[in-house]
Amino acid sequence: MNILHITSSVRGADSESSRVTQRIVDRLLASQPGAQVVRRDLGAQPHPELDAAAVGALFTPAAQRSPEQAARVALDDALIAEAQAADVIVIGAPMYNFGMPVQLKNWFDAIARSGVTFRYTENGPEGLLKDKKVFVATARGGVYPVEADPQVPHIRMLLNFLGLTDHSFIYSSGLNMGPEAAAKGQQAANDAVEAALA
């Protein structure tokens, strides 16, 4: 088994989403001896944003790219290769201002490449990153009912678009609502990990 472990919090060791993803990875390793883990810490080492230079490089034929353009595309290629090689993808997604961190959005922008990780067909888009299990650990200061959650639908849509349709979301909620609420939210996340990996 190949596990891709992605964290996107800027809080380092204090990150709840990173704590939960590590718990998921530890459980996977315990059940799958010999599994390999590739770790990508987007909070500590952010991937460059999709700007005009990056778009220009992507739309320039490979043989015509400048050295700078080739190097920029290679950065995205590395992330795509990691996602393609993974059997399981574990993503830490804290909620920042009701959405995902820009660091995680940059990762999605990098791996969403037409003809490689998705394609357009006469029946609509088809995701090409298939047959993978995805765990997403979310951490948020408040409590959001499923029908009013502003973050998860966007992440779910992106995963589905890429063909990553087998996904489980683990929630750490109420982290900024006092010690008792935070402890309750963390325990709920721990319980959800155990249930998802039982």
Has 17 been labeled as part of a binding site?
Answer: yes
Has 96 been labeled as part of a binding site?
Answer: yes
Enumerate the β-bridge partners of residue 158. Answer: none
Has 31 been labeled as part of a binding site?
Answer: no
Beta strands in the chain (DSSP E): 2-7, 36-41, 88-94, 118-121, 124-127, 133-139, 166-172
Other beta carbons within 10 angstroms of residue 150's beta carbon come to 12
Has 68 been labeled as part of a binding site?
Answer: no
Q: Are strands 124-127 and 88-94 parallel, antiparallel or unpaired?
A: unpaired
Has 15 been labeled as part of a binding site?
Answer: yes
Has 18 been labeled as part of a binding site?
Answer: no
User: Which run of H or E residues covers position 27?
Assistant: helix 16-31
In angstroms, the CA 133 to CA 166 distance is 5
Has 106 been labeled as part of a binding site?
Answer: no
Has 97 been labeled as part of a binding site?
Answer: yes
CA distances (Å), 6 to each of 117, 146, 182, in order? 18, 24, 23
Return binding residues for FMN: 9, 15-17, 95-98
Binding residues: 9, 15-17, 95-98
